[in-house]
Amino acid sequence: MHTRTSPTPVAVGTAQRRWVLAVTSVASLMVVLDALVVATALPAIRSDLGASVTELEWTVNAYGLSFAVLLMTAAAAGDRWGRRRVFAAGVTLFAAASLICAVAPGVAVLIAGRVLQGAGAAFVMPLALALLGAAFPAELRPKALGVFASVSGVAVPLGPLLGGAVVEGISWPWIFWINVPIGAALAYFALTRLEESHGPDPALDVPGLLLAGAGSFGVVWALVQGNSAGWTGVAVLGPLVAGLVALGAFVTWQRRAAHPMLPLHLFRSRRFAAGNAVIFFHWASALGAVFFMAQFLQEGLGYGPLAAGLGLAPWGLTTTVVPRLAGRLAGRFGERPFIMAGLGLHALAMGWIALVAGPSIGYGVIAVPLVLSGTGIAMCLPAAQSAVLTSVAPRLLGKASGAFSAMRQLGGAFGVALLVAAFSLAGSYASSAAFSAGFTAAAVGSAVLAAAGALAGSLIPRRSTKERSDV
């Protein structure tokens, strides 16, 4: 007979909290690093495997597709069968999928491996946030999330740099080999050092899982296929309409389900609803920008993989410092100023880059806006996480984490699709000048998405004790 533990915070000791913070942060670093390290390797993959621009997009979005589709399922599974147990299973799957990517003989196997990696990541990220949220009380949570975001943020400078060094010094498959021993170690420490916790529901919401998965799949599939198949074709409109219908049915079902996987009353909180909108636009802008910036340094400016990684380092170095500071201050001043200032700064920086981008520019021309962009992205992330995770009761942390992570991944797929569309309308891979023209359009798109996120952030009120207790 299954014995459930309490859905209240379980790790109250300082040593236990440190283990939770360390394991979840490193796991997040591994997952985010994998999304970014591929960006620098895209030209090498295109050359080695003969991949088209559409297949390159799939190496990014196949990961995001399965990630987005399975996030809510993963959060529900963690609540039902144990967050630690499901988290460890996700880390193990991620490591095994990385092995498949490393030995892939062709682009089709690589994309299949990326699908499995995304599935593993889906069972890591929401459970990492849920384990972290359960271990730290509400008053300590913003600071812990700042540390969590800082460690994850190391992936931003390290990802392109590591990718460039590995591609140039060894070969691109080694960007995946590195995940295998790290994943094995994380799974071991998760099972031996972390306490188990569960959510409040005794049963899975199977109809909700199916509807949420089908809806997410249809929408993300359409976003990924739209640029290559045509936005008005049946192959795109069909899945898009079916996905939207499924998501509408999901919302309807959640209103009457005995044990809903996403209680809709959470969205009555402006902080919860606006925080999820913020992370959608935040990651849409950031991931789309990373996707093209790494290629711009190589295709537009003629850098090698390692030089491109070094060129992106200043962009991400701020993410190792800023999130921790922003997380600490968000608990004192509220999340709204950090979200609005952060995304506003990122939007300004991407607009600046769009104005100066060209095949003959020197690196110094884009160095300052890169630092400003990285600072803005890093400032927003822990504040958005805090807005969502401190607006719900501890028993609902798993569901809130699943919703937050799902919105982030849906935003990433949307952002890459939108920026690829902008790039394709204005430029191509035919020459450095043609690529620079497309990159300029993509940078403008990134700035617009960031501005939309800042607008959503303006709706977040200050946190109050009464609001936390009401949800």
Measured CA distances, 70 to 52, 371, 406, 449, 452 (Å): 27, 34, 8, 25, 26
CA-to-CA distance for 413 and 65, rounded, in angstroms?
Answer: 7
Q: Which of 152, 84, 86, 145 is nearest to 120 (CA)?
A: 86
CA-to-CA distance for 31 and 66, rounded, in angstroms?
Answer: 13
Q: State the helix-helix crossing angle for 141-153 and 14-49, rounded to 10 degrees.
A: 30
Q: What is the pLDDT of residue 135?
A: 80
Is the pLDDT at 151 greater than 80? The verdict is no
Q: What is the pLDDT of residue 300?
A: 80
Is the pLDDT at 297 greater than 70? The verdict is yes
Is the pLDDT at 293 greater than 80? The verdict is yes
Q: Which residue has the higher pLDDT, 49 or 115?
A: 115
Burial of 16 (0-12, 13-18, 19+ CB in 10 A): middle
The answer to whether the beta carbons of residues 17 and 135 sit under 8 Å apart is yes
CA-to-CA distance for 171 and 164, rounded, in angstroms?
Answer: 10
pLDDT tens digits along 402-452: 788 788 878 887 888 888 888 888 888 878 888 888 989 999 999 999 999
Rounded to a whole number of angstroms, the distance between the first and last alpha carbons of the chain is 31
Using H for helix, E for strand and C for coil, what is the string for 102-171?
HCCCCHHHHHHHHHHHHHHHHCCHHHHHHHHHHHCCCCCHHHHHHHHHHHHHCHHHHHHHHHHHHHHHCC
The answer to whether the beta carbons of residues 288 and 353 sit under 8 Å apart is no
Q: What is the pLDDT of residue 470?
A: 42
Res. 160 pLDDT band, cuts 50 70 90? low
Mean pLDDT of the region 25-38:
81
Mean pLDDT of the region 266-279:
89
